[in-house]
Structure 1
Amino acid sequence: MARGTLFSSIAGGGLLIGIVSWLAGTAPAAGVQQQSPGSNPPPLDYSLTADSQPQPGVPTGSLTKHVLAPGKFFPGTPHNYQVYVPAGYDRNRAIPYMIFLDGSGYAGNNVRVPVVLDNLIAKRDVPPMIAIFVDPGVMPALSDEAQNRYERIFEYDSLTPRFANFLIDELVPEVGKSYNLSKDANDHAVAGISTGGVGAFVAAWNRPDQFRRVITWVGSFGNFRGADRLPGLIRRTEPRPIRVFMQTGRQDLVNYAGSWYLENPRMAAALEFAGNDVRIELGEDGHSNRHGASMLPETLRWLWRDYPQPIAVREPQAGAGRGIFAELVPHRELLPPPSNPAREGGAGRGGQPATPPPAAGRGGGPRGAVYALIYRDKPWEQIGGVYKSVASPAVDKDGNVFFADLAENTIYKSDAARSVAVFRENTRGA
């Protein structure tokens, strides 16, 4: 759960119980939910589908409980975890794995990941895999006068690679002592809810050499410990070969750290911009696991589709104004999009935006035409002559590029044909 809701709602009772119930996997079927202040939840039917119910004749995997001893990344802090092993597991073959943060909740009756995996593996909709359900660390109190230290926020919300390294260097090797886990990053996935959604994404973002598939539900990509900076980092950084599924709801949290219903589409738009394979589902629920749990079978099919084909980054394309870009044009970014089934699929679902964006000309579109001229497999090409200095590059709406040679007090213009000509002389250093 997000911290802002805890402080605003604990006096009314119920939320702290909800958090404990989520972690213990014993919450009521409706899930842990907090609506935005002053809102009334709409009538919803996020019931679990047949693939989340035990089915006759489907082999059942095993689920065992374990404790990971404190290590170097979180000294003094043990971690409880569970391991799901599919029926028919073959020790002689390396097997994919998927890690679920706040794992007890995912393994419990609200979400039923083990049941879903039983059914999807039996249908061959996903590959046989081991699931690791790890809970946040709890440092035991050092004296009777102290309290336990619950490290969920510290572990999940940070943008550093510490938590990812904990998973890779401590948790996975411990599980690997008993099972033949694949070492191929294409075989590894990580999932989380709320703050755990941040932890899951950041793990893959920092270590794409180890994680390629991500699920985030109602991800807390607000201004807590820096997650609000992720969209900008994604847009400015070479894309990682990761596939990301995101989900949030119209009634999701709004507090001092941001609006979840706006922050999640910002993340999805940045990933789409960068060339990643991303899908976002915008529902009607609040800060809850209900919507995500109801579509978990579909989500896993999407996440593992085309397996074992490696996940690849697509080449950026100028003017790629489809999907969620239409919802996030600047003058509408502060307003939630209207309820429209054709829009709620987001990127990767194949639906058309209700209002297509303007056609992108040269230099236009959400990305800008310059991206169409830069490729990893082609070297940079020099245009024009040799200048004493090149500074202050700028581009106009027609795609012409301007730059200044300050030493010569001259501004040059380069057009689409790569022809460079003097634009202004005697600029006196301007």
Structure 2
Amino acid sequence: MTVEVPFQPLPVDQDVRYAHGPDSARQPGVPAGRTVEFDWNDSVVYPGTSRRFWVHLPAQYDPSQPAALMVFQDGRLYLDPDGEVRGAIVLDNLISRGDIPVTVGVFVDPGVRDDAVGPKHRNVEYDAFDDRYATFLLTEIIPQVAERYSITTDPGGWGICGGSSGGNCAFTVAWLRPDAFRRAICCLSSFVQMPDGNPYPELIRSVPRKPLRIFLQAGHRDLRWNEPERNWLASNLHVAAALAETGYDFRLVLGDGGHSPNHGGVLLPDALRWLWRPLDS
């Protein structure tokens, strides 16, 4: 089916801000889900850390029907109803209209240590190229959710989302554990901050294709966009090119603006619709 896109003039200035659409605001007649907050201070994978996470249950949640699962990094920011992403509002609107399946949202903050500022441990968790964060989710956070709420065990029903280092983290979790997560949204991903450099362009081309569906967002004016080294824009484009050359089910949206959650947040409703479309389409 061909979709006709309304004409919109291309901004001459690439320092832009995108306006949120109706799916990012509370809509009349759409029932709001409920959000439950948890603390987690007993991590084995990241000993000495404490953090909060939130579980958002849509109004349509039925314990007798296992729900899909969507995990968001930087949970507080992605949950904030006045922020750029507004994850719970978007889930409520899309689920109510039947655009995506009934989905439990899990919004996880990065860990904080007594001997380190929070963002520093955020980089330790999110920018690493290993399975620690995936193990953390699968053995510490998600079991607490599954004990309380009914979620599917089908990896095709699990997704993960993040931006900046959180986008890199989402990609790594899906890449290393496709047996658990098959869908990922990765915005302005910090591939350049991985300790030994970005392994993905070469790695994607060198191993058999994995059963993943990946939505990428990149920005023309991301960090060091016109520099020869540690170029965030170029690194995301290299990953996208490798996915294209190896036949992955992926989508890249390239926007204007810099390193801001604005564009990725505005895109979240469409990214989720694309991510959850039938696997054979």
TM-score calculated relative to the size of structure 1: 0.59
Choose the corresponding residue for 1:284, options 217, 242, 256. Answer: 256
Which residue pairs with 1:301 in the alignment? 273
Alignment of 1:91-110 (within 5 A): 91-108=63-80, 109-110=82-83
Alignment of 1:218-297 (within 5 A): 218-254=188-224, 258-297=230-269
Aligned AA (2:73): L
Rounded Cα–Cα distance in structure 1 between residues aligned with 2:195 and 2:265: 27
Alignment of 1:136-215 (within 5 A): 136-141=110-115, 148=117, 150-215=120-185
Aligned AA (2:87): V
Rounded Cα–Cα distance in structure 1 between residues aligned with 2:277 and 2:197: 28
Q: Which has the larger radius of gyration?
A: 1
Which residue pairs with 2:109 in the alignment? 135
**Deviations along 1:28-48, whole A, 9 cap, x unmatched?**
xxxxxxxxxxxx963534111
Choose the corresponding residue for 1:117, options 91, 104, 113. Answer: 91
Rounded Cα–Cα distance in structure 2 between residues aligned with 1:276 and 1:100: 22
1:129–1:227 Cα change, 3 Å:
farther
The answer on 1:75 being equivalent to 2:47 is yes
**Deviations along 1:354-410, whole A, 9 cap, x unmatched?**
xxxxxxxxxxxxxxxxxxxxxxxxxxxxxxxxxxxxxxxxxxxxxxxxxxxxxxxxx
| Aligned CA-pair RMSD | 1.8
Rounded Cα–Cα distance in structure 2 between residues aligned with 1:218 and 1:138: 23
1:50–1:223 Cα change, 3 Å:
closer
**Deviations along 1:22-80, whole A, 9 cap, x unmatched?**
xxxxxxxxxxxxxxxxxx96353411101111111111101121112322211121221
**Deviations along 1:192-251, whole A, 9 cap, x unmatched?**
111111110000000000000001111111154135121101110111100111111111
Q: What is the identity percentage for the equivalent residue pairs of Structure 1 and Structure 2? A: 39
Q: Does the 8 A contact of 1:158 with 1:226 survive in 2?
A: no
Aligned AA (1:94): P
Q: Does the 8 A contact of 2:127 with 2:193 survive in 1?
A: no
Aligned AA (2:277): R
1:91–1:223 Cα change, 3 Å:
closer
Rounded Cα–Cα distance in structure 2 between residues aligned with 1:164 and 1:257: 29
Rounded Cα–Cα distance in structure 2 between residues aligned with 1:114 and 1:301: 15
Which residue pairs with 1:12 in the alignment? none
Aligned AA (1:208): P
Rounded Cα–Cα distance in structure 2 between residues aligned with 1:191 and 1:227: 21
Q: Does the 8 A contact of 1:81 with 1:135 survive in 2?
A: yes
* Secondary structure of the corresponding residue to residue 49 of structure 2: coil
Rounded Cα–Cα distance in structure 1 between residues aligned with 2:21 and 2:253: 17
Higher relative contact order (CA 8 A, sep 6+): 2
TM-score calculated relative to the size of structure 2: 0.89
Kindly state the Cα deviation for residue 276 of structure 1 after the two structures are TM-superposed: 1.1
Q: Does the 8 A contact of 2:160 with 2:170 survive in 1?
A: yes
Q: Does the 8 A contact of 1:164 with 1:203 survive in 2?
A: yes
Alignment of 1:311-390 (within 5 A): none
Kindly state the Cα deviation for residue 88 of structure 1 after the two structures are TM-superposed: 2.6
The answer on 1:51 being equivalent to 2:23 is yes
Rounded Cα–Cα distance in structure 2 between residues aligned with 1:286 and 1:204: 26
Q: Does the 8 A contact of 1:198 with 1:227 survive in 2?
A: no
Structure 1, gaps ≥5 residues long: 1-39, 142-146, 312-430
1:218–1:41 Cα change, 3 Å:
farther
Aligned AA (1:129): T
Alignment of 1:25-36 (within 5 A): none
Aligned AA (1:168): L
* Secondary structure of the corresponding residue to residue 177 of structure 1: helix
Rounded Cα–Cα distance in structure 1 between residues aligned with 2:89 and 2:241: 32
Q: Does the 8 A contact of 2:184 with 2:215 survive in 1?
A: yes
1:227–1:187 Cα change, 3 Å:
farther
1:122–1:194 Cα change, 3 Å:
same
Kindly state the Cα deviation for residue 115 of structure 1 after the two structures are TM-superposed: 0.8
Q: Does the 8 A contact of 2:220 with 2:258 survive in 1?
A: yes
Rounded Cα–Cα distance in structure 2 between residues aligned with 1:292 and 1:80: 23
Q: Does the 8 A contact of 2:66 with 2:151 survive in 1?
A: yes
**Deviations along 1:89-133, whole A, 9 cap, x unmatched?**
111111111000111111012211111111111110000100000
Rounded Cα–Cα distance in structure 2 between residues aligned with 1:256 and 1:76: 38
Kindly state the Cα deviation for residue 256 of structure 1 after the two structures are TM-superposed: 8.1
Q: Report how many aligned residue pairs link the two structures.
A: 265
Rounded Cα–Cα distance in structure 1 between residues aligned with 2:212 and 2:196: 21
* Secondary structure of the corresponding residue to residue 29 of structure 2: coil
Q: Does the 8 A contact of 2:33 with 2:56 survive in 1?
A: yes
Rounded Cα–Cα distance in structure 1 between residues aligned with 2:160 and 2:197: 17
